[in-house]
Structure 1
């Protein structure tokens, strides 16, 4: 039988010759330097010679697997032409690089995602995965290879990024298996391998309002893209999740006349259910849209954002959403690394308002988009408490920006 060493030492000669492996498989070496895999098959008194591609594009192992497939198809009555076409398709798939496979998967899934999430997924692969294994054959990548890559990502302090990428790697290979591009999923089980068993740690959040104001002031003065600075302030004033702000669109803003600077006491941000953190079945129902009353301070931020140039997204850079880690990096640069993260504004908001207005706990939870009670209550209690929630957002803006309305400062 042939070995890889024998294949590497095969040199052209004045006349063509064959190097035999087993069961009709051989390498045809031409004087021109061509080294082509072929398999001779006999079935029902017929003989066929099927081409299997060239070496080294087709490895010895792949040639043996292709020969087995060809033999089975001939025995079942397929014509040599049909076998050659099937093998050419299979070999082309097996030669696909991981980057091409991942991009095909991304294109297939993109319409099911929001534009922001689709951009995040592709960016994470381009930044962390393609430089390391993008050019490798998708069929040749191993589980230990992927585990080493994810470990390197996690050791940089990006453990959550590593976990998400592990999920995406597994999804890519499930996509490939369903299309017979690969026979196994080397990324299966990697998420569990990355789990440390450590208790879930609460997101860092400032509880002292003086420090929260200091962070906002430092972020306003930082040398950073204006869209990032404005997105940070809007995030603080609305206490929504970061993904909601990054995906905010102008057509989601209601009750504001952009042609004037007139007050907008009924300003409202309607976040589609599809972009909210909830069960998939609920995402399809517009009745589950999350309504965020906008304070005058939040509307002022939006007016500044429009002055930067209007695109579909409110906070964008060249029409694309601001980076997933842009606001967090801004807070690190301002000296608040490890003390406050973008998601922390929700905790700061909830703590400050619950301390001042404990009787409004229900409205505060609704303001944060938290589910209320059990499934029965959620099904029947659909009150939005919008007037009270608008009042709470107005109070929050005054508290955070230290501009309380007369007589409203807590004793």
Structure 2
């Protein structure tokens, strides 16, 4: 016959004195009060999952009363299966914020936001398949083996916390052995680590050719291709409508491209208007008496020590990754901003939506993000 447990009362809890060893006062249903030798009283909930006993901390008495401890137990029982990855990440960051330096903590938050997509953060952690994480790590590895290793370490930390809190049955084995390999450097290399990107932006900011630097920033803000930015003409800018209107002859997909301008992009153009407004090209080279040479930005990258690590086209990759992770519901808007050709010819023939307002808001947030990175 099982032992009948008499529920606790506030009087019994208040009367409990410390002893030579820790001891427990049971309330029933797995809830008990742990009385420590120093007099501290802690609420614990013992539950079984797949034959394994687990403990959940429910707070400290008297901050958490008997009634609230019982409510917390029931709430935990109800919500445990609905805990999302975001909930675990939030709990993880709360513990790290107290123990980490501010810069390191902010870097951690940025890396998580940049690399882990919204759909995964919103999913119950118990429902996330190991293959989903493996696929994400492999995707990040294509950009940066270092970042892939960091994010994989974070995931292992998330799962250890989730298991300790009783949100999952067991920690999946996530080894870097088969997931992370150092990618070969390509002509579209780009920096995926935000601190490296920040260092790059700070380096080119002090380049002796300030027009080249402004061209870089404008190219980043507008996510144009290198030639589209470098050969930009004043007659392709509509300041009133806050638009770039690039003719088909200048576009890779041979279609006119209208690109909204953020406040930061407008600011660069207004500054250059005072310097080069009487010339044909926005980024006018007084040495060439025309537009800049096509190798100017490559030269800036090389002199800054980032050859093979960052390319002009690489900023489009960075934008695409950031935008798709931050706003996964804006897929068509993002593709329009990048002036990508729609692979679905039938849809491309009928769907003429420009999404100009959404693109302007997206590019404004992107410009704020880039400036935030530069000022880390």
Q: TM-score, structure 2 length as denominator?
A: 0.47
Q: TM-score, structure 1 length as denominator?
A: 0.44
> Max radius of gyration: which structure?
1
